Amino acid sequence: MTPGHLSILGMGPGDPELMTVKAARLLREATVAAWFCRHDRPGHARQIAGDMLSPHAVGLRFAYPFTTEVPLCDPAYLVRMAAFYDECAEHVATHLLAGRDVALLCEGDPFLFGSAMYVFDRLHPRFTCTVVPGITAMAGCWSAAQRPMVHGDDVLSVIPGTLDEDTLTTRLEQADAAVIMKLGRNLEKVRTALRRAGREERAIYVERATQPQQRCMKLTDMKGPAPYFSIILVPGREAAR
């Protein structure tokens, strides 16, 4: 039997109209669709797909064993997550070996902090795979905020908020323009690093970009906790342009 084909689909930042034509076509054609989610939620990528996914498609819902409950520095994190991705890959492989094509959905772009890349790592040596790029969350954020980010020879730094405060500060001091992801419980640490780097006044907070609940504001005006789908932008090129 000829194995099935794995398609990893970038679903974009939230607005279904920001999916590519190719991703939408492969999604509609999928006989098996897989996506990641928290144990208590349906999954953002699945919500973006909406009714574009055939009601006859087999669904594989991969619920993370944990999200923020175990810190990245804990040795158990990599062990347990590796086992989880091994299990996900084998579920997908079972369908591929049966000759069924599988679409693995990933919010944003699959290869930018995307969980789908870990399944890709495990399966692409064994199966034919197509990766469809998606509009990134950061692109959705700076478009929603209407803030040009890089000009001329500016260098853009993409910085995870999970770094320690000193490293965050150094990275921000060195950056022409910056995107800070993975905020959540790291928000106050990121605020402090931005202040130390002298970049707080330029920072823009964007929450749930391209989605109905979208919010954009100066970081200094932002109060309260940051949800998972939030990003801080620090536009570059402070000189005339």
Contacts of 213 (CB under 8 A, 6+ apart): 207
Is residue 207 scored above 80 in pLDDT?
yes
Residue 68 is predicted with a pLDDT of 63
CA angle, corner 181, sides to 177 and 185, nearest 5? 130
Which amino acid is located at 71 in the chain?
A: P
Nearest to 12 by CA among 40, 52, 64, 58: 52
Is residue 71 scored above 70 in pLDDT?
no
Contacts of 22 (CB under 8 A, 6+ apart): 132
CA distance to 35, 59, 118, 126, 142, per residue, from 92 (Å): 11, 11, 12, 12, 35
What confidence category does residue 228 fall into, taking pLDDT thresholds of 50, 70 and 90?
confident
The pLDDT mean for the chain works out to 93
For the stretch 133-164, pLDDT in tens is 999 999 999 999 999 999 989 999 999 999 99
Is residue 1 scored above 90 in pLDDT?
no
Residue 80, Cβ density class (10 Å: 0-12 exposed, 13-18 middle, ≥19 buried): middle
Contact of 95 with 123, CB cutoff 8 Å: no
Residue 76, Cβ density class (10 Å: 0-12 exposed, 13-18 middle, ≥19 buried): exposed
Q: How many CA atoms lie within 13 A of 44 on its CB side?
A: 18
Residue 41 is predicted with a pLDDT of 83
Contacts of 134 (CB under 8 A, 6+ apart): 9, 10, 11, 12, 19, 20, 23, 106, 107, 108, 109, 110
Query: Could you give the domains of the chain?
Result: 6-132 (3.40.1010.10), 137-234 (3.30.950.10)
Do strands 215-218 and 6-10 pair parallel, antiparallel, or not at all (unpaired)? Answer: unpaired
For the stretch 76-116, pLDDT in tens is 778 899 999 999 999 999 999 999 999 999 999 999 999 99
Residue 75 is predicted with a pLDDT of 73
Residue 76 is predicted with a pLDDT of 75
